[in-house]
């Protein structure tokens, strides 16, 4: 790795597993000359939650969409499970910031949509969809339409849709940006619980430091335009205990402060 790796707290670096996604020298220049990313190299360990964190305009969403194969990079390569990729793949599933739900389809059809595109028979895909809907605590809403749901519920539908295709890698683009604070906290906790069961690799974009520290195994701090990796932080938090306690934990607060010290310098 090209960039210095530092730990958040004084304890030794937590063991990181094999990378499932490798980003090598990614750069992105938009037509018109805006350089969004420059020479970004990163490893995403399997089974861990990695957050891309940075001020607005640091290219974190661009990087996420490049990894997802939705945006073409100007330079560099993406390797998923050791293989070079240049487009979307079945091992990656995306959760969109604006939910991207089809307004004309019920929750059930929206959740089953990824499977529908793969040509899975209706019965089978709806069975899977029902299970995923239950996993995100939306059982009973299968036949509702998106406009009948609140923002938080819509994002759960988006998450269920990504879970339904059973991808190893979940990519979430500021998934909680459009929901209120209470819903957001509840959602973060539910997400962590869900990940304990599902054993997925998650790549998560956010601009909230607290959120990043709370949910992540590894936090990648990006500098503003052009985005480069400025630091990698691995919060050594003891999870599994009481949630409220964790939010008051010294390691948690120190980590938030450390990140804030880094990001502060980017504010004009």
Partner 1 sequence: MTDRTAQPGRPAAAGLPEAAGADDGVRRDRQLQWLWRLLSFALVFAAWEVAGRIPISLAFPPFSETAVALVEMLFDGTLFAAYGETLRPLVVGLLLCGAMAVLFGVGMGLSETVEWFSLPIFIILQAAPMAAIIPLITFIYGIGFGAKVFAVMLMSAPIIVLNSYKGIRNTSPSLLEMSRSFMATRRQQIVKIILPHASGLIFAGLRLGAAAGVTGVVLAELLITPTGVGDLITYYRAVAEYPRMFASIASIIIFSSVTVTLLQRLEQTLFRPETRGPSGE
Name the residues that contact partner 1, by CB under 8 A.
68-70, 88-90, 92-94, 96, 98, 100, 102-106, 113-114, 116-118, 140-141, 143-145, 147-150, 153, 165
- In whole angstroms, how close is the CB of 67 to partner 1 at the nearest point? 11
Does residue 199 come out as left (phi exceeding 0), alpha (psi in the -120 to 50 range) or beta?
left
Tokens, residue 45: 């360990």
Closest CB to partner 1 among 34 and 102?
102
Closest CB to partner 1 among 65 and 234?
65
- Cα dist. 97→42, 81, 149, 156 in Å? 23, 26, 16, 12
- In whole angstroms, how close is the CB of 210 to partner 1 at the nearest point? 27
- Cα dist. 15→110, 200, 201, 255 in Å? 38, 17, 15, 18
Closest CB to partner 1 among 90 and 241?
90
Tokens, residue 113: 């949509």
Closest CA to 229 of 16, 25, 10: 25
- In whole angstroms, how close is the CB of 100 to partner 1 at the nearest point? 4
Contact 40, 231 (CB under 8 A): no
Closest CB to partner 1 among 32 and 119?
119
- In whole angstroms, how close is the CB of 243 to partner 1 at the nearest point? 26
């Amino acid at each position: 790795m090209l960039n210095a790796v530092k730990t958040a707290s004084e304890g030794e670096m937590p063991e990181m597993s094999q990378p499932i996604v490798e980003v090598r020298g990614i750069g992105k220049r938009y037509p018109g000359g805006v350089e969004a990313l420059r020479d970004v190299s990163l490893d995403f360990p399997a089974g861990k939650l990695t957050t891309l964190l940075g001020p607005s305009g640091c290219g974190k969403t661009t990087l996420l969409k490049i990894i997802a194969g939705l945006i073409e990079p100007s330079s560099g390569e993406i390797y998923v499970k050791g293989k070079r990729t240049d487009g979307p793949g079945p091992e990656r599933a995306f959760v969109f910031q604006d939910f991207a739900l089809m307004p004309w389809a019920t929750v059930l059809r929206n959740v089953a949509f990824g499977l529908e595109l793969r040509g899975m028979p209706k019965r089978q895909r709806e069975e899977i969809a029902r299970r995923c809907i239950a996993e995100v605590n939306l059982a009973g809403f299968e036949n509702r339409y998106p406009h009948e749901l609140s923002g938080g519920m819509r994002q759960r539908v988006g998450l269920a849709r990504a879970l339904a295709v059973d991808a190893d890698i979940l990519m979430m683009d500021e998934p909680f940006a459009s929901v209120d604070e209470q819903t957001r906290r509840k959602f973060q906790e539910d997400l962590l619980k869900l990940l304990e069961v599902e054993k997925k690799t998650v790549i998560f974009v956010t601009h909230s430091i607290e959120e990043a520290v709370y949910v992540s195994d590894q936090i990648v701090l990006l500098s503003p335009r052009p985005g480069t990796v400025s630091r990698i932080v691995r919060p050594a938090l003891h999870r599994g205990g009481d949630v409220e306690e964790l939010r008051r934990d010294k390691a948690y607060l120190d980590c938030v402060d450390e990140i804030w010290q880094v990001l502060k310098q980017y504010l004009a």
